[in-house]
């Protein structure tokens, strides 16, 4: 099967890798540079339970992705001939008010069914695990099984691994239209040239214009997030920290990421001075010693988001041989490998994908 993948972020490159390893002839077209969009801008957390308020089919899918991640990343690193800096850091979800404590403790029964190592820490236990925290935190949920990677290195490794597996990567090539014949996708147009394929997979992040032109009106929108990188005076090891207002992610290189703002519908990548001030105030309140840190950089990314915050993965109902993998929101790093592997088996072997991620659940209008 000849497959064209539109988009060389972690989702598109994971799919290209999985398809190529199964023998497909894969071409990835990317309007910029591989990993230059939301993938490289991410904080790199794989935190399915700490970021979930209630159980459900999508949480189960995310947990499966976490369990499958380490063997997946080992194979990616081997093909790419580079390390991705996986850190088994765990996560702390902090509480500073009684209602936050109650909300966290209410999660405990169902989340322990997913991972019995999860526990609620009182103030004394929290201070032993994270002595660098500022005052005012009365407890925390501890998720020891959650991990993180360097998102930029992961994006680069996936693009290299896909090429090593046999996929071709065409950067600086914007797909302007999906070519169709008799209600079927038969390729894409790039720079006025039609590139033929047996199937097309659109994994273009938050940009839904290509799908809309093909009559697929997936309600995909950007959710802008701004982040900072700080370099502490002394290495700040320990878990990822979520607290009201944001998160702190100590990275393998000794830096700390501070994130993230949320602005639905914003398409720009500008970093606002107010956002920087808000994120710094948050960081200093959670870990006061970060006031002595050096400011390294700030950037923004566009989270591809659907109304239910669940991705659309699979064939679209409007056009045969057109597939989509979009809307991963805050779970792109976590779900990249799962998405690639399950898409490849669906496209090449006809194995059904879970209904919770079906693109047709939005009943998009047909305009063609």
DSSP annotation string for 207-258: --HHHHHTT-----EEEEEEEEEEE-SS---S-EEEETTEEEEE-TTS-EEE
pLDDT given at position 17: 98
- What structural domains and CATH numbers belong to the chain? 2-80+151-218+307-362 (3.50.50.60), 91-147+221-305 (3.30.9.10)
Report the predicted TM-score, pTM, of the whole model to 2 decimal places. Answer: 0.95
- Residues 90-146 have pLDDT tens digits of 999 999 999 999 999 999 999 999 999 999 999 999 999 999 999 999 999 999 999
pLDDT, one tens digit per residue, over 285-344 is 999 999 999 999 999 999 999 999 999 999 999 999 999 999 999 999 999 999 999 999
Mean pLDDT of 48-58: 95
For residue 162, the surrounding DSSP H or E stretch is: helix 151-164
Residues 6+ apart with CB under 8 A from 180: 186, 214, 319, 368
Q: Is the pLDDT assigned to residue 367 strictly greater than 90?
A: no
In whole angstroms, give the CA distance from residue 177 to residue 187.
9
- On the question of pLDDT at 33 being above 80, the answer is yes
């Amino acid at each position: 099967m000849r497959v064209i993948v539109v988009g060389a972020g972690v989702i598109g490159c994971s799919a290209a890798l999985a398809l190529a390893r199964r023998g497909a002839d894969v071409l990835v077209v990317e309007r910029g540079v591989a990993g230059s969009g939301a993938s490289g801008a991410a904080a790199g957390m794989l935190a399915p339970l700490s970021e979930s308020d209630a159980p459900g089919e999508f949480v189960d899918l995310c947990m499966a992705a976490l369990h499958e991640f380490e063997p997946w990343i080992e194979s990616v690193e081997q093909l790419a001939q580079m390390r991705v800096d996986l850190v088994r850091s765990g996560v702390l979800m902090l509480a500073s008010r009684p209602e936050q404590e109650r909300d966290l403790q209410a999660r405990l029964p169902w989340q322990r069914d997913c991972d019995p190592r999860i526990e609620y820490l009182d103030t004394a236990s929290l201070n032993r695990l994270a002595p660098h925290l500022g005052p005012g935190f009365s407890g925390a949920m501890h998720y020891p099984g959650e991990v993180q990677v360097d998102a930029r290195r992961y994006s680069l490794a996936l693009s290299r691994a896909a090429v090593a597996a046999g996929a071709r990567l065409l950067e600086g090539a914007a797909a302007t239209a999906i070519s169709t014949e008799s209600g079927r996708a038969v390729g894409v147009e790039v720079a006025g040239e039609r590139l033929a394929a047996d199937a097309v997979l659109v994994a273009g992040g938050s940009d839904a214009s290509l799908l809309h032109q093909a009559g697929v009106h997936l309600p995909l929108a950007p959710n802008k997030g701004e982040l900072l990188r700080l370099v502490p005076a002394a290495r700040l090891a320990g878990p990822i920290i979520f607290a009201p207002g944001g998160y702190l992610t100590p990275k393998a290189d000794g830096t700390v990421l501070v994130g993230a703002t949320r602005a639905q519908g914003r398409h720009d990548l500008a970093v606002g001075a107010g956002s920087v001030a808000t994120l710094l105030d948050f960081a200093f309140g959670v870990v006061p010693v970060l006031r002595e840190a050096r400011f390294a950089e700030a950037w923004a990314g566009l989270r591809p988001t659907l109304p239910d915050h669940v991705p659309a993965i699979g064939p679209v109902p409007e056009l045969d041989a057109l597939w989509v993998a979009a809307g991963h929101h805050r779970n792109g790093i976590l779900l990249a490998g799962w998405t690639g592997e399950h898409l490849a088996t669906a496209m090449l072997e006809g194995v059904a994908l879970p209904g919770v991620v079906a693109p047709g659940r939005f009943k998009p209008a047909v305009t063609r």
